[in-house]
Structure 1
Amino acid sequence: MAHPPTTGAAGSPAAGALSGRRPAWREGIERARAAATTEPGRLRLIGAVLAALVVAFGAVTAWQVSDRRTAADAVAEHSQPLSAAAADIYRSLADADTTAASAFLAGGQEPAEVRRRYEADIDRASKLLVRAAATTDGSATAREEIRRINQLLPVYTGLIESARANNRQGLPLGSAYLRYANDTMRERLLPSAGRLYQAETARLGEDYGEAKSWPWAAIGTGAAALAALGWAQRRDFLRTNRVFNRGLLASTAASAVALLWLVAGHALARAGLDDSDRHGAQSLHVLNEARIDSLRARGDENLTLVARGAVVVDRGEDKGKDAYEVSYAERMADLVGEPGAGAGAGVDRAVSGSLLARARDLADDAEGRAPVDEAVARLREWQERHKAARAADDAGNYKDARAKVIGGEGSTGESFDKVDKLLAKALAHEQREFARAADDGRGALTGLAVGAGVLAALGAVAALLGMGRRLAEYR
């Protein structure tokens, strides 16, 4: 009597049947392939692809718009304020150095107002450094420069106090301490502050670049989704002679609205950010440079009287000349050009290419140009008064020269104060212009990420419903 084969034995028919069975994933693929050979199967596949494309478009749009909105927020709320704070640190340090030289020129009993201004500058710089250290992130250069300035600032203030103490006693050593303090400021502190400003300004440029870059991935995905929807509707028309598929038409409309919103919204945001850059951030950068150069020119002017020719240029065509007077002339040339070169038609203008000429070109309204034009006139006045002070000093009349520099009405100090106030006014105006344009730019992206996501979801549902209506005809 024959026995049935054992099902678990090797080489048995049962084992052979099990070993010949196809994996589940392969069976799934073959079933999908077989279903695609029928019209209902093709419709299901087309509906799934259309819905996936529309959803992908919404997801990529939300992602890229969110990134650009974050970068635009960083421009307005983080990187530009940090850049402005770094410029203010530089200006406060330069003003402290200039004020210290003015106090020294006044003699042993410096005016209380001048002393308060110096102390306010040092205090402001210290507070700004603390704030910058707390808010600066991602920049090793910025952190290192903040650390270096914090180390050098007590050294500088100690040298200034030594200069004051010796000056009060009438000792000539005071001027040596002041020159050493000035060297510390100009050769170590201000270069560090300048590098800090450059690092923060570079970060601002990176944020601008990210905020303004076109969302090409989202635009490309949206175009692909619209193309696929158009193809599906044409296919439907050719097979059924029906002009419209309501579901596909609604999906196309939702996708088209999202794409147009994306392109128009980003174009408006880009225009606003461009405006905030050119007529805001760039204007602020040039005006900050101009204000710092005016401070350094004032410091050079004071130190020319303090040093009395003890510091000279040791190389180049200016060899043997007073180093501070040469530096003063260079600063003035950077600000407005050579004396008298900008005059014409009864109106004094800064020479093309100078800092104040660039600031005027970047100002986009009369309110921004007016203080710059007035600053040019006051700088020309300063240059003429400086010539008179130098002539008195060269003639051996030191007291008269000092009065023309640090005296009241009619002195170069009066001209400098007017220039500084006018540049501060121009900076305040351009800061407001920056804030307005930056807010307009990032405001154009408001709601776009969420809106694109909602439209994409509606479009995907409409596409599935449209294809589902066609599938119902086969039941």
Structure 2
Amino acid sequence: MAYPPTTGAAGAAAAGALSGRRRAAWREGLERTRAAATTEPGRLRVIGAVLAALVVAFGAVTAWQVSDRQTAADAVVEHSQPLSADAASIYRSLADADTTAASAFLAGGQEPTEVRSRYEADVDRAAKLLVQAAANTEGSATAREEIRRIGELLPVYTGLVESARANNRQGLPLGGAYLRYANDIMRQRLLPAAGRLYQAETARLGEDYEEATSWPWAAIGLGVAALAALGLAQRRDFLRTNRVFNRGLLASAAASAVVLVWLAVGHGLARSALNDSNDHGAKSLHVLNEARIDSLRARGDENLTLVARGAVVVEKGKDKGQDAYEVGYAEQMSGLIGDDGADSGSAAGGDKAVAAPGSLLARARDLADDDEGRAPVDEATTRVREWQVRHKAARADDDAGNYKDAREKVIGGEGSTGESFDKVDELLAKALDHEQREFKRAADDGRGALTGLALGAGVLAALGAAAALLGMGRRLSEYR
């Protein structure tokens, strides 16, 4: 028989009655739970549930925090450091292209094939690295913007260089003006953009290092709390039963202790290795990159001093009225080795040359942690001193009006400043290769120390939680 739907006041009364019955049932269930918790079996169930929850939470948080740090360590090795290295290579390629273009111009209309090939290789390398950086740079608006800016300016620069070459082949003085304009674009727009790109990628590397080496305090805190709770539960069991050990609680405590020790030791080893890869790898690479860039810029200024022939001067400041490119050369040398003077004895090769404290070469030597890393830096320092001596001789000839002799001492073969620069660049490249290997070795050791920890923590935590429940279950069985 069907009943008509209840409406109006009768329906409201029925709904109220139903709601009242539900509240009463809920209160009754809560009261039963409270009553059960006041008995020993009830307390044991609550203790078992809390212990299992603590151990599971410890394992889950450990797996989560270790996974985050392992991801960051992987990013250091496979993503952020390679991107930082590529950004440095873009800067070096652009600076070397500018330096090589000036050298080719000084050689006259018939520029050497190897010089031209070097310039084209630099431009091609920079273009390819830009494409690669654009494909791999994620989430950094600054990096993307600088890549776009370099991509737009590079064809402008190369077009001006080609105009300078065409005029130079015809013996027209306008070629020098084109080259100076190209150099202005390189120095004032292209290289600053490349420098900002390098800074952005290096900052990202620093963030990944910080995340990979930060201590997992939440996991450590939960591990200590879980062990303390298991210890208190074991003591309570001993006081009430006179049993020395509850095997289930003992197994749970052992599993938790293994995870906690594994976490502390594994992360400590990873942190130590990653810090070593940073201090004696990434930081060394950063300083060596700066040193190589300064040597390239010094070489470019040296060449342009002869190209401009005093047409470009400093317009203000303490160096007002002086040749702008010669001032630039001195500034780059000061950053590279600490001063623009040279000791003739050390530069001649009889004594070991020393860079001034705080200079790039001095810092690179301090950061190198073995003789293989220090040796090329020491030899580069000697070659820079040699370069300074030869530069002074070339400047003396140019100032005396012997342009041809000065040019020969700058772009000639044996005994020229070009020979010294090439050797410095080669030695710094050798030092960079060594430090890159050192970085990779230490960083791989660091991320290797975390291998298996996340999975192991999860498995051991599950076993520990099950053991805690079994331990409480044995006690509960005594009440049945």
For Structure 1 versus Structure 2, the TM-score category normalised by the shorter chain is: over 0.9
Counterpart of 1:285? 286
Counterpart of 1:374? 379
Structure 2 Cα separation of the partners of residues 74 and 406 of structure 1: 43
Residues 317-348 of structure 1: per-residue CA shift (max 9 Å, x gap): 11111000011011111111123399699421
Letter of the 1:355 counterpart: L
2:95–2:191 CA contact under 8 A, matched in 1: yes
Counterpart of 2:5? none
Q: Of 401, 404, 420, which aligns to 2:425?
A: 420
Structure 1 Cα separation of the partners of residues 475 and 84 of structure 2: 60
Residue pairs, 1:307-386, within 5 angstroms: 307-338=308-339, 339-340=342-343, 346-386=351-391
Alpha-carbon deviation of 1:29? 2.1
Residue pairs, 1:50-65, within 5 angstroms: 50-65=51-66
2:346–2:382 CA contact under 8 A, matched in 1: no
Whether 1:266 and 2:275 are equivalent positions in the alignment is no
Letter of the 2:118 counterpart: R
Counterpart of 2:45? 44
Whether 1:294 and 2:295 are equivalent positions in the alignment is yes
Alpha-carbon deviation of 1:53? 0.4
Alpha-carbon deviation of 1:26? 3.0
2:365–2:374 CA contact under 8 A, matched in 1: yes
Residues 74-98 of structure 1: per-residue CA shift (max 9 Å, x gap): 0000000000000000000000000
For structure 2, the 5+ residue unaligned runs are 1-8
Counterpart of 2:232? 231
Counterpart of 1:472? 477
Alpha-carbon deviation of 1:316? 1.2
Change over 3 Å in CA distance of 1:249–1:107 after alignment to 2: same
More divergent stretch after superposition (10-19 vs 47-56):
10-19
More divergent stretch after superposition (344-353 vs 302-311):
344-353
Normalising to structure 2: TM-score of the pair?
A: 0.95
Counterpart of 2:145? 144
Counterpart of 1:108? 109
Residues 341-387 of structure 1: per-residue CA shift (max 9 Å, x gap): 99699421111000000000000000000000000000000000000
Residues 237-261 of structure 1: per-residue CA shift (max 9 Å, x gap): 1111111000000000000010010
1:342–1:351 CA contact under 8 A, matched in 2: no
Residue pairs, 1:417-456, within 5 angstroms: 417-456=422-461
Letter of the 2:232 counterpart: W
Structure 2 Cα separation of the partners of residues 451 and 61 of structure 1: 10
Structure 2 Cα separation of the partners of residues 285 and 18 of structure 1: 71
Structure 1 Cα separation of the partners of residues 230 and 222 of structure 2: 12
2:54–2:222 CA contact under 8 A, matched in 1: yes
Letter of the 1:52 counterpart: A
For structure 1, the 5+ residue unaligned runs are 1-7
Letter of the 2:399 counterpart: D
SS in 1 for 2:454: helix
Normalising to structure 1: TM-score of the pair?
A: 0.96
Letter of the 1:316 counterpart: G
Residues 105-155 of structure 1: per-residue CA shift (max 9 Å, x gap): 000110011000000000000000000000000100000000000000000
Letter of the 1:443 counterpart: G
Change over 3 Å in CA distance of 1:350–1:21 after alignment to 2: closer
The sequence identity of aligned pairs, in percent, is 82
Equivalent pairs counted in the alignment come to 468
Alpha-carbon deviation of 1:455? 0.6
Structure 1 Cα separation of the partners of residues 419 and 25 of structure 2: 91
More divergent stretch after superposition (19-28 vs 423-432):
19-28
Two-structure CA RMSD over aligned residues (Å):
2.0
1:341–1:351 CA contact under 8 A, matched in 2: no
SS in 2 for 1:22: helix
Whether 1:80 and 2:85 are equivalent positions in the alignment is no
